[in-house]
Chain A
Amino acid sequence: MHGYANPLRFQRIADAVLPWVAVALLVLTPIGLYQALVLAPPDYQQGEAARIMYVHVPAAWLATFTYALIAIASVVALVWRHPLAEVAARAAAPVGAAFTAIALVTGSVWGKPMWGTWWVWDARLTSVLILFFLYLGYIALHDAFEDPARGARAASILALVGAVNLPIIKFSVDWWNTLHQPSSILRLDGPTIAPSMLWPLLTMVVVFKLYLVLVLILRMRGQLAQRQIHNLRARGAAGAGV
């Protein structure tokens, strides 16, 4: 584990992985979109409007996945004082918040023709809205202190406390009788979604995941570079003082 704490090694691995991720993303995005918007059949009840699912579902999955990532990174940061874990968690937070916002907005656009309303206060929607505020709180707390290390550690604790919301989001559609439909893919008795719709959906999930990895690497690199500049400046100032 500590082998990967070295920022230089991270840079080397990131440099090696980044082009592959970028190429895969460039290739898969048009394929996924073509499958989702053209090849996949319209839904027998919802018609063409159901195609928004191919954006909504991956965004919602990635919203919770990214939060889980932040929570795990926070545990690693708090327990082992792993410096890269903090950088990764902070880098992932705005991306996760963006995915959550996309899930909420596309869900709203989908809800208008299907449920007849932009928003309902059902358990799934409410818990995802809470998730959005948890992301904002995490980012705000991280940047609320003069000392960045203090902010990072405080935000890690908050991320762990907020993780209680994840199971609530996942099981909200089973525990409460809500307007939001129950899960149709990750079920014990196999997916209830038609294969012709499942494959485009999975492709889009991979596209979203690749995007997350790409942005995460770029943002982590940026933060490490920023830290380096900060250190060099501090050293320069100290040198000038002598």
Chain B
Amino acid sequence: MRPFLALLRRDLGLAFRHGAETLLGAIFFTLALSLFPLGVGASADILARIGAGVIWVLALFAVLLTLERLYQSDYEDGSLELMVLAPVPLELLVFAKCLAHWLTSGLLLVAMSPLLALLMALPAEAYWVLPAALLLGTPTLTLIGSIGAALLVGSRRGSALTALLVLPLYIPVLIFGVSAVDGYLMGLGGGAQMGILGAMLLFAMALAPPATAAALRVALE
């Protein structure tokens, strides 16, 4: 457990020290959202109709944008090699890195989502439904993205290929995330979709660390 906490503390420390870079995802999240009222018209009923979907899609992109910092810099300065060689399960270290990544990317999006719901003129219920759904969904995005980031460590082409690898795997989270929020907002209830989001999170927690670890071992062979 000590290496886990040490790595978590190191990654969080690095993220705080590179404050602007860490906030980039959250800034993108807000900035991109503000384009939609300009693009589709600012009438409240249109915005409320598409609000949940737009916010979820932007959350996907915001997480995607920050994936590259997950392993690439560790690969370049050699610390990734030490993690692979360490006498600690690599899966555990991967999990620590994902947790640190989520705390500095996904959690920010969760915290900001009520504000975005306000900007998209969503009904008051969305102020708790949207963060709740994102709280269950964004860790899954980090975990799935970690596989894609690890597969591409050290490759010649970066982010465009990450999107091609990761976005198809994000689609289930998007579908159930949006339908959970829309379900609550339309008064149909979204408990089942929330349950599926939770199930996907558990699946990702079980499967993503070993897959990521395998990908990192291949990268450093």
Interface residues of chain A, those whose CB is within 8 Å of chain B, are: 78, 126, 130, 133-134, 136-137, 140-141, 144-146, 150, 153-154, 157-158, 160-162, 165, 168
Interface residues of chain B, those whose CB is within 8 Å of chain A, are: 147, 151-152, 154-157, 161, 164-165, 167-169, 171-172, 207, 211, 214-215, 218-219, 221
CB distance from B215 to the nearest CB of A (A): 5
Question: Complex: how many Å from CA A126 to CA B167?
Answer: 13
List of B residues within 8 angstroms of A165 by Cβ: 168
CB distance from A216 to the nearest CB of B (A): 24
Known A144-B152, A144-B161, A145-B155; judge A130-B168 contact (CB<8 A). Answer: yes
Contact of A154 among B169, B171, B219 (CB under 8 A): B219
Question: Complex: how many Å from CA A158 to CA B167?
Answer: 13
List of B residues within 8 angstroms of A154 by Cβ: 151-152, 215, 218-219
Contact of B211 among A130, A153, A161 (CB under 8 A): A161
B171 touches A130 (CB 8 A): yes
CB distance from A144 to the nearest CB of B (A): 4
Q: How many A-B residue pairs have CB under 8 A?
A: 57
Question: Complex: how many Å from CA A153 to CA B147?
Answer: 13
Q: Which residue of A lies closest to B172 (CB)?
A: A168
B214 touches A141 (CB 8 A): no
Additional 9 contacts, C-beta under 8 A, given A140-B161, A154-B151, A165-B168: A133-B167, A136-B164, A141-B161, A141-B165, A144-B157, A146-B156, A150-B218, A157-B147, A161-B207
Q: Which residue of B lies closest to A123 (CB)?
A: B175
Question: Complex: how many Å from CA A78 to CA B151?
Answer: 14
B169 touches A161 (CB 8 A): yes
B171 touches A126 (CB 8 A): yes
CB distance from A165 to the nearest CB of B (A): 8
Known A126-B171, A158-B151, A161-B211; judge A137-B219 contact (CB<8 A). Answer: no
Contact of B156 among A145, A158, A160, A161 (CB under 8 A): A145
Q: Which residue of B lies closest to A139 (CB)?
A: B164
Q: Which residue of B lies closest to A144 (CB)?
A: B155
A137 touches B156 (CB 8 A): no
Question: Complex: how many Å from CA A136 to CA B214?
Answer: 21
Where chain A touches its partner, the secondary structure class is: helix
Contact of A162 among B157, B169, B207, B214 (CB under 8 A): B169
Contact of B165 among A146, A150, A158, A168 (CB under 8 A): A158
B156 touches A153 (CB 8 A): no
List of B residues within 8 angstroms of A140 by Cβ: 161, 164-165
Q: Which residue of A lies closest to B214 (CB)?
A: A157
B211 touches A144 (CB 8 A): no
List of A residues within 8 angstroms of B207 by Cβ: 161
Known A133-B168, A154-B219, A157-B214; judge A141-B152 contact (CB<8 A). Answer: yes
Known A154-B219, A158-B151; judge A144-B164 contact (CB<8 A). Answer: no
A157 touches B152 (CB 8 A): no
List of A residues within 8 angstroms of B165 by Cβ: 137, 140-141, 158
List of A residues within 8 angstroms of B151 by Cβ: 141, 154, 157-158
Question: Complex: how many Å from CA A140 to CA B166?
Answer: 13
Known A144-B155, A157-B151; judge A137-B211 contact (CB<8 A). Answer: no
CB distance from A71 to the nearest CB of B (A): 13
CB distance from B75 to the nearest CB of A (A): 13
Q: List 5 A-B contacts (CB under 8 A).
A: A141-B152, A150-B221, A157-B147, A157-B218, A158-B147
B155 touches A137 (CB 8 A): no
Question: Complex: how many Å from CA A241 to CA B151?
Answer: 36
Question: Complex: how many Å from CA A83 to CA B147?
Answer: 24
Question: Complex: how many Å from CA A166 to CA B58?
Answer: 27
List of A residues within 8 angstroms of B221 by Cβ: 150, 153
Q: Which residue of B lies closest to A168 (CB)?
A: B172
Question: Complex: how many Å from CA A168 to CA B168?
Answer: 13
Question: Complex: how many Å from CA A115 to CA B170?
Answer: 28
List of B residues within 8 angstroms of A133 by Cβ: 164, 167-168
B211 touches A160 (CB 8 A): yes
Q: Which residue of A lies closest to B153 (CB)?
A: A154
Question: Complex: how many Å from CA A157 to CA B153?
Answer: 14
CB distance from B80 to the nearest CB of A (A): 15
